[in-house]
Structure 1
Amino acid sequence: MLQRFFQKYTGFLRSLKWVYVLNNLLNYKHLRQNKALYKRLGLHKSVVSPIGSTDFPDKSGELPWLDRPDAADMVEKHPNFQLMEPDLQVQVRQFIRDGYLILEGFYSKPDTDALNAEVDRLLGAGKTGFNYTGRKIFNLHAQSSLADAYFFRQPEMLKLLSFLLGKPVIPFQSLNFVQGSEQRAHSDSIHMTTEPPGYLIATWTALEDCTEACGPLFYYPGSHRLPYVMTTDYDSGNTRFTIGSTSNRRYEDKIAELIATHKLEKKLFLAQRGDVLIWHANLLHGGDPISTQGSTRRSMVCHYYAEGVFCFHEMSQRPAIIRHRNF
């Protein structure tokens, strides 16, 4: 499949929109369900065609409930919030204010040990591997019932994420890391986008203790309140037929400018094994440089869309392909 090919490939073909259209055609069975959404959104194009934020000039869609001006008041009155433990209530309030929350010790040491062993087993057997970055293992959950059931689709986690978005969530994508990503600051919403905006949420699970030397995750509290940056907000280099070859770098340059302009405070997530950080679709985050050669930062990131919204990839101008289990 083209998807596997492009996980390793970094050449010219990645810039051609028709290559993504071909991949969409090969995955038509996953995309045809979008026809009803296209009709509802007034989109007059094929479900396999390139698509981006410019196809949605009317930005009057319904905001996620915790993004609304009265969210802090609404959440206090919600019956499910009132049933939460006080510590979790504090974290939910922080999610509204700062765009993230932290669940300390959500997973046990045996849970994280089991997943680490599973990653090593699948890598050793050649059943999974790193993409072109050399850091990311895409969708390990599709090869592992353990990763899928206990991490990607953990029932209590799905319940909390659905509460935060105000809609049931759809598990979309997982990323596993052995070392830190060292990725520059970004918002997930340039890569995994929704219409209306904001209906994506992510979890980051520490599979070992993190230190400043291992290239920890960093984030900018409150940055989720900034406007969403789309490809029209910087010089992406996109044309009718191609994706700009330096679009990602120029996007990250734009984000760096915003961080400096707004004097945002950077925080490190020096997590303990089993801790989970949940972040808003627009929270700016990334990976610090690894200062000790060979140090690891084993972790698992999961991304979830909300049901009933249109999901696409703004950077590469393509609809999201949502698959089911592969085992």
Structure 2
Amino acid sequence: MSLKHFKPAHWLYNLLHYKQLLHNKKAYKKYNIKKSLIASVSSRDFPDKESRAWLDTGDSAVLAAQKEGFQQFPTGIQQKIRDWSTKGYMVLENYFSPEACDAINKEIDTLMANGALQFKWGNKLMFANKKSAVIRQATKDPLISRVLNFLLDKEMVPFQTINFINGSGQRAHSDSVHMTTYPLGYLTAIWVALEDVHPDSGPLFYYPGSHKLPYLLNNHWNAGSSFLSLGKHDYPDYEDMVEELLAKHKFPREELIAKKGDVLIWHANLVHGGAPIRNPALTRKSMVVHYYASDVIKYHEITERPSLM
């Protein structure tokens, strides 16, 4: 058994970061979860395996205009909200100014140059929001925050950034196997194009409507978890199952050839990834921000670990 599958190692790590787990204390009480904050947690601990978000149980094309605050959004955003339940994503064109994008890129360059930011898990630059006031400010953009709060009918809190210099090259996946909530569905994310995207640079792709698939949880692809260890399967097995589901349901695949400043907002369960990089000389500078609802249980289904906040 590798150390990453050995749950007691997770518990020790959680204990050493206990203060970052306190966000779950009220939520555990609210949902009657009787276990330590440092303990392993997964979908097996919860009875409900479906989203309860209001635009998942209902249709935004019908409900959105009836909700307080809808009329305060610009007309273009109103239509994108109406389409949310059908598509599972929206694109805000030319949202961030070129100057704002340049400022973020400059921050990343500076953080990398002084050693404060390094690549993890291949090509990911993690948690720049914890090191840069400029990037933190971008994650809390007022209009985007209003849109996210409206879509989930909860306060959405930015907790993680991932910056990319090149395309991610990541296979199709749903974020909810990595960053999970109870009740399900209370995660969302944005992707910001920090430069124009070339078709050969490995554009982001997604499958409109795929957010309506059942949430793919550990019991679907990695059963066999015990008190002391995770199941025997690994992440590529999950990716294989996602591809099987996509082939079965025949969702259309779209690539986002974004312009600098464009923003993609996507649903917790939308299947997406990074296309192959056909020209390695090309960059695809971008930033992802993940948001959790403030009052739900936050954890990582794939590793059965509570989220650090």
Per the normalisation by structure 1, the TM-score is: 0.90
Alignment of 1:35-54 (within 5 A): 35-54=25-44
For the residue of structure 2 that corresponds to 1:213, the secondary structure is coil
- Change beyond 3 A, Cα 1:257–1:19: same
Question: Quick check: 1:204 aligned with 2:194?
Answer: no
Alignment check: 8 A CA contact 1:236 1:247 kept = no
The partner residue of 1:248 within 230, 235, 241 is 235
- Residue 83 (structure 1) shift: 2.3
**Which residue of structure 1 lines up, in the alignment, with residue 98 of structure 2?**
109
- Per-residue CA distance 1:133-170 (angstroms, 9 max, x = gap): 2x101100111111111x21222211211111101111
Q: Aligned residues, how many?
A: 309
**Which residue of structure 1 lines up, in the alignment, with residue 292 of structure 2?**
305
Question: Quick check: 1:12 aligned with 2:6?
Answer: no
Question: Quick check: 1:32 aligned with 2:19?
Answer: no
**Which residue of structure 1 lines up, in the alignment, with residue 143 of structure 2?**
156
Question: Quick check: 1:22 aligned with 2:12?
Answer: yes
The partner residue of 1:219 within 206, 210, 227 is 206
- Change beyond 3 A, Cα 1:70–1:210: closer
The partner residue of 2:277 within 273, 283, 290 is 290
- Aligned AA for 2:253? K
The partner residue of 1:140 within 111, 115, 128 is 128
Q: Distance in 2 between matches of 1:71 and 1:126?
A: 45
- Residue 238 (structure 1) shift: 3.5
For the residue of structure 2 that corresponds to 1:268, the secondary structure is strand
Question: Quick check: 1:63 aligned with 2:43?
Answer: no
**Which residue of structure 1 lines up, in the alignment, with residue 306 of structure 2?**
319
For the residue of structure 1 that corresponds to 2:119, the secondary structure is coil
Alignment check: 8 A CA contact 1:99 1:279 kept = yes
**Which residue of structure 2 lines up, in the alignment, with residue 128 of structure 1?**
117
- Aligned AA for 1:12? S
- Residue 70 (structure 1) shift: 4.1
- Change beyond 3 A, Cα 1:70–1:110: closer
Alignment check: 8 A CA contact 2:222 2:233 kept = no
Q: Distance in 2 between matches of 1:108 and 1:201?
A: 23
- Change beyond 3 A, Cα 1:41–1:182: same
Q: Distance in 2 between matches of 1:303 and 1:33?
A: 16
4+ aligned runs moved over 6 Å, structure 1: none
Aligned residues: CA RMSD: 1.6
Alignment check: 8 A CA contact 1:175 1:300 kept = yes
- Aligned AA for 1:101? M
- Residue 246 (structure 1) shift: 4.0
Question: Quick check: 1:265 aligned with 2:252?
Answer: yes
% identical equivalent positions: 43
**Which residue of structure 1 lines up, in the alignment, with residue 72 of structure 2?**
83
- Residue 57 (structure 1) shift: 2.2
For the residue of structure 2 that corresponds to 1:184, the secondary structure is coil
- Residue 309 (structure 1) shift: 0.8
- Residue 35 (structure 1) shift: 2.8
Structure 1 stretches lacking a partner, 5+ long: 1-10, 323-327
- Residue 26 (structure 1) shift: 1.2
- Change beyond 3 A, Cα 1:109–1:29: same
Structure 2 stretches lacking a partner, 5+ long: none
Alignment check: 8 A CA contact 1:236 1:250 kept = no
Q: Distance in 2 between matches of 1:132 and 1:97?
A: 33
Alignment check: 8 A CA contact 2:221 2:241 kept = yes
Alignment check: 8 A CA contact 2:80 2:90 kept = yes
* Deviation larger for 24-33 or 301-310: 24-33
- Residue 27 (structure 1) shift: 1.5
Q: Distance in 2 between matches of 1:137 and 1:42?
A: 36
Alignment check: 8 A CA contact 1:204 1:301 kept = yes
